[in-house]
Amino acid sequence: MTPAVPTVLAQLAAQLLAHAAPDVPPGERANQLGLTAALMGILAETWDRQAHILVEENAALSALLGAPPAAPTDLRLTALGAENDRLRAALIVAHEAAEAAGDTARQAAIWAELAATTERRRLSTAPI
């Protein structure tokens, strides 16, 4: 998730403390609490699934890019995310190459995986 969750949580904590002060105007406090609640709702939905999404997505991207399957050894979200970045950057290159070559089958496979990617990451509250 971008921005990164730990940074956001640290800022939310600071903002909550600041807005707990008794002299904060009620409307301003309500806005802050409403936004914080919305962000926490997103976190609650993604907390348990995030590592699974990245492992599944990295495996699918590796297969699409022709890399040998390998189980990740580092399951921290930062490590999985870094590998995801590497694979998505390679996918952009592969997609451009497929377009240049007129390889419609390859393009279709890439589009299918991109659609699957957005389905994995989809939020229940998302507008689409």
Partner 1 sequence: MTHPLEPRLAAYIAGRMPQAADVAVRGLERISGGASRETYRFILHWTEHGQDRQRRLILRRDPPASLIDTERRVEFEAYRAFHGTAVPVPEMLWLEEGPGPLDHPFFIAEELTGFQAAPQALFALGDAALAKVAEAKWTILGRIATADPARLAAILPTPAPDACWRRELEHWAGLIDRDAAHPQPIAQAAIRWLRANPPPPAQRVGIVHGDYRTGNFLYDAQGGVHGVLDWEMAHIGDPLEDLGWSLQPVWSFGRTGPGGPLAGGLCPPAQAVAIWERASGLTADPAALHWWTLFNCVKGQGIWLGSAAAFASGGNTAPIMVYPAWWLINAQDRAILQVMGKL
Binding site for partner 1 (CB under 8 A): 1-4, 7-8, 11-12, 14-15, 23, 25-28, 31-32, 34-36, 38-39, 42, 81, 84-85, 88-89, 91-92, 95-96, 99, 110-111, 114-115, 117-118, 121-123, 125-128
Q: How far is the CB of 125 from partner 1 (least distance, A)?
A: 7
Task: List b or e across 36-55, with b for residues whose CB sees 16 or more CB atoms inside 10 angstroms.
Answer: beeeeebeeeeeeebeebbb
The DSSP output letter for 81 is H
Identify which of residues 39 and 72 has a Cβ nearer to partner 1 in the complex: 39
**Rounded to whole angstroms, how far apart are CA atoms 76 and 21?**
36
What length does the chain have? 128
Q: Map residue 44 onto helix, strand or coil.
A: helix
The DSSP output letter for 65 is T
Q: How far is the CB of 88 from partner 1 (least distance, A)?
A: 4
Q: How far is the CB of 71 from partner 1 (least distance, A)?
A: 23
Identify which of residues 1 and 75 has a Cβ nearer to partner 1 in the complex: 1
Q: How far is the CB of 68 from partner 1 (least distance, A)?
A: 21
